[in-house]
Structure 1
Amino acid sequence: MEQTDGGDAVERSGLQPRRPALLAFIVVAAGMVLDRYCDVGITIWLSLAACCLPVLLFTGSSTQRTRSAALCLLLVAVGAARHHLFWSVRQSDNISTLAHHEPALIRLRGQALTEPEIRPAEHSATIPDWMQLDQTVVPVRCLQVNDEGTWHNISGNVRLSVSGHLLGVQAGDELDLTGVISLPQPPQNPGDIDYRDYLRAQGLDAVVMVNHPLAIKTVHPHRGAWWSLINWRNGLRRQCDQAMTRHLSLEVQPIASSLLFGDRTRIDHELRTQFAETGAMHLLAISGLHVGILLGAFFLVCRWLNISVASTTLLLIGLAVGYAFVTNARPPILRAVLLVVMSLSAQFAHRRLDGLNALAATALILVLYRPTDLFDIGAQLSFLAVWAILVVSPWFMRLSTGAMSAELPQEESFLFALARDWGQRMLIMFVITLAILVATAPVTMSRFHLLTPVGLLGNLILLPLTALT
């Protein structure tokens, strides 16, 4: 971040602003990529870091190039080591040692990490009626496993899938369950998703299937202030769901739940396909758009109430953090909230914030917290979209400034001025949508084999409607 006066001086001189966070993110990400595809063990990365630290600590400023090279290598080692710890390191008693591709019976005790999520069954003529059952899914932290009547401590996390509705279970509850444990089958065709890697990226080591909710019982209810806070949040979400059920039609409820909380479990496959093919899938994925709409509306309320700028800034930061908590802190929301907090904090401190540097700092924080986000398609598309907006933003800022400073003809009517203003807004929205499409097209085409130029026009209608909704 630069001070306001210094930032203006940089802009007037035509020099590029310094972006240390961008360089740091690139180097750390390179280390994570190296560890993913060249698994050489954490000893190599720790040794590299140990060699670089003395160079940084005990060499003078006269060897600036050497220090810069050592810093880059140190960041590579940090990124690789962090990824290795998250992706590859497991304890010797990890649950994955008991799981194989062939299902095996298991009795397990574990702690529910979230509230159970009920996923409606997919109804299709090609699926037998007896297979059209709702599924309950919940991640479980393993505590003990029963081996011939003796309980042994076990570590790791599993994805628990139950046929039917698992009711009465809250986050933090300790469960005793009997089911079958297995590892996901490897992909059968080139380009297929490796489901084991997908689970691994979420910190899950195996899958446990239970045929009936009665095979699960709660041994101990949740204890502690943290789990009480989590379940209070879940209760708040349930109350909102009940309110939507009372006041909205069955067709609208799944979309409303997705827009408000990012919960897309109730959206059927057909509707998802329609949104994807029209280039409007991002409207269902809760993201910075929703955070911006929420904070923008709250900002207008604060202005109407004549709240001071400092108090408004602090209230907006609190609202952004609270919204992230209520929505389970999903990666797109975390990205948006971190950017908002950085921007508002800079404004509060009268500092200038460089958008690309802030975006890189946000990405750096997120990948250090969960390194697998670097390889997640959703996170990649999210950051590419914001990067595209930041790239084209100087153009439409100049357009808006030029339009405001231009002398208006005396005889210009109100309707003409209104039409010109809306035309300018639509042009800006079109350019932003085009930039996002161009930036994300390589990823969507290579992964989903899908390109949706129709979204250029569709978003001109859907984005304002989303904001009004």
Structure 2
Amino acid sequence: MLNSKKFFIKAPLAPFALLFSAGIFLQNVIHLSLWTALAITSIIIFFSLIPKVSKREVVIFLLVLSGGILRMSSSQWHAEKIENNLAQLNGKIVRISGNITAIRETERGFRYSVSVDSIITNNATIRESIKVNLYTESDFIASMGDKVDVAAEWREISPPRNPGEFDFKKYYQQQNIWAKGFMEEDEPSSITAQEGFSISTAVYDLRMSIRDLFNETVGGDAGKLMSALILGLREEVPGEIKQDFVDTGVIHVLAVSGLHVGYVLVIVMALVKILPVSWRWEKILIILLLLFYAILSGGKASVWRATFMAGMYVAAPIFSRKANLWNIISAAALILLVYNPNYLTDLGFLMSFSAVISIVFFYNQFNQILPEGMRVNSMRNPFLKGVWALFLVSVSAQIGTLPFTWSFFHRIPVISLAANIIIVPVIGVIVSLGFAIM
């Protein structure tokens, strides 16, 4: 069993991650004002600076806890400020000016994600660093990075109406998308082509070029599936195929996440071995290529989570450190929660970390409590060993994610245990083939 004292010695960041998370959770319950949270944190900092204060560990722990409260409070304050500024716009025709950051084709035209410069109404100009999903007809064609200026009907994203219903408003706000705009076709509009070089535009163009390469080389649904699994273009996959993945409980493999980053890590580690560079440069190249893949695949939160953890694991030897998985998980969680404390209530974040934590803990436990002949390391047949290991990893992950799966989807994914044994290796083959084509 896990010895808590030894655990915290080997993973000193774990209590910090837990306390910071507890502070965020506490703030979501008590809703302190930003100034109250700031005052409490300041008092604790004052006590921590007193040289002869006793119980310094308690003061440090309280400081981390209050840090979580303060970070969440500042996020809530910022969100309330934006919401108050935008509340007057709902249902009105406004002029939206900004740059295109994402493009998706719809049945009637396009959906552009616009990074807003200004929102102009009849009597005011609002400037907030937000994004808006702009819906247009098919004849309004803009490119990544272009500056658009259009008249559109502003609509707030509706909160859930029924208990247990998916909260699209919260989901989009976590991506800094605060509203939908429906373009007024009769009003004047403009598109100004982007000048100069842009990394985001270059990455988008590269993604589209690779997508076209997959469609030309592989073709059909298989090419679209490859684009989803490698580039994160999930919208490319036909609806009936998505439903098949849902029915078998493996829809998670269509979203680029830790599984895909893991396969990419294996491929990249094999590739850099060919290069005539020192082991230190090997590690640096692996980290850089992982970062590039995170950007190439769309930069989703799930990919960055896995990239953080994989990068820290790879980087540990550079700093003469032995990689401790619990410390790496804690560091990744802490960094991401400092960046965005709202991740703590994000289903993807919760399921991702609960799956990883559960695999790290239960996989080892299974290999200790199972009879000798059923332990992975005791098996001699490579095929049976691989299948059994995948099954234990799948069961371990399901144990961790089960509370969230039941709470949010009201279903227990029994069939996915068997499906994962087949699907997960196939995903590895598809990812490898995709990289070979690239």
TM-score range, shorter chain: 0.7 to 0.9
Q: Which residue of 1 aligns with 2:86?
A: 96
Task: Return the offset for 1:51.
Answer: 0.5
What is the aligned counterpart of 1:257 among 217, 227, 241?
Answer: 227
What is the aligned counterpart of 1:292 among 238, 253, 262?
Answer: 262
Q: State whether structure 2 residue 170 is matched by structure 1 residue 197.
A: yes
Q: Check 1:394–1:246 CA distance in 2 against 1; reply closer, same or farther (3 A cut).
A: same
Q: Which residue of 2 aligns with 1:209?
A: 182
Task: Say whether the 8 Å CA contact 1:109–1:144 is kept in structure 2.
Answer: yes
* Residues 364-397 of structure 1, C-alpha deviations (whole Å, 9 max, x = no match): 1011111211111111111111111211343578
**Aligned runs of 1:154-173 on 2, under 5 Å?**
154-165=127-138, 166-171=140-145, 173=146
| Structure 2 stretches lacking a partner, 5+ long | 431-438
What secondary structure sits across from 1:106 in the alignment? strand
What secondary structure sits across from 2:26 in the alignment? helix
Q: Which residue of 2 aligns with 1:392?
A: 362
**Aligned runs of 1:372-391 on 2, under 5 Å?**
372-391=342-361
Q: Check 1:429–1:194 CA distance in 2 against 1; reply closer, same or farther (3 A cut).
A: closer
Q: Distance in 2 between matches of 1:298 and 1:170?
A: 29
Q: Which amino acid aligns with 1:446?
A: S
Task: Return the offset for 1:336.
Answer: 1.4
Q: TM-score when scaled to structure 1?
A: 0.81
Q: Which moved more, 1:204-213 or 1:35-44?
A: 204-213
What is the aligned counterpart of 2:394 among 421, 425, 433?
Answer: 433
Task: Say whether the 8 Å CA contact 2:116–2:132 is kept in structure 1.
Answer: no
Q: Distance in 2 between matches of 1:397 and 1:160?
A: 49
Q: Check 1:213–1:250 CA distance in 2 against 1; reply closer, same or farther (3 A cut).
A: farther
Q: Check 1:397–1:86 CA distance in 2 against 1; reply closer, same or farther (3 A cut).
A: same
* Residues 159-212 of structure 1, C-alpha deviations (whole Å, 9 max, x = no match): 2231434523322x3321111012233432222233333332222332212255
**Aligned runs of 1:99-118 on 2, under 5 Å?**
99-100=89-90, 103-112=91-100, 114-118=101-105
Which has the higher Rg, Structure 1 or Structure 2? Answer: 1
Q: Which amino acid aligns with 1:111?
A: N
Q: Check 1:141–1:246 CA distance in 2 against 1; reply closer, same or farther (3 A cut).
A: same
Q: TM-score when scaled to structure 2?
A: 0.87
Q: Which amino acid aligns with 2:41?
A: A
Identity %: 21
Q: Which residue of 2 aligns with 1:272?
A: 242
Q: Check 1:211–1:250 CA distance in 2 against 1; reply closer, same or farther (3 A cut).
A: farther
Q: Check 1:159–1:92 CA distance in 2 against 1; reply closer, same or farther (3 A cut).
A: closer
What secondary structure sits across from 2:143 in the alignment? coil
Q: Check 1:174–1:68 CA distance in 2 against 1; reply closer, same or farther (3 A cut).
A: same
Q: Which residue of 2 aligns with 1:37?
A: 29
Q: Distance in 2 between matches of 1:435 and 1:213?
A: 57
Specify which structure has the bigger relative contact order, considering alpha-carbon pairs within 8 angstroms and separated by 6 or more residues.
Answer: 1
Q: Distance in 1 between matches of 2:340 and 2:188?
A: 33
Q: Distance in 2 between matches of 1:205 and 1:466?
A: 35
Q: Which residue of 1 aligns with 2:433?
A: none
Q: Which amino acid aligns with 2:190?
A: K
Q: Which residue of 1 aligns with 2:49?
A: 57
Q: Distance in 1 between matches of 2:193 and 2:149?
A: 12
**Aligned runs of 1:25-424 on 2, under 5 Å?**
25-60=17-52, 63-64=54-55, 67-89=56-78, 91=81, 95-100=85-90, 103-112=91-100, 114-119=101-106, 121=107, 133-147=108-122, 152-165=125-138, 166-171=140-145, 173-210=146-183, 212=185, 216-218=189-191, 220-222=192-194, 228-304=198-274, 307-395=277-365, 420-424=381-385
Q: Aligned pairs, how many?
A: 421
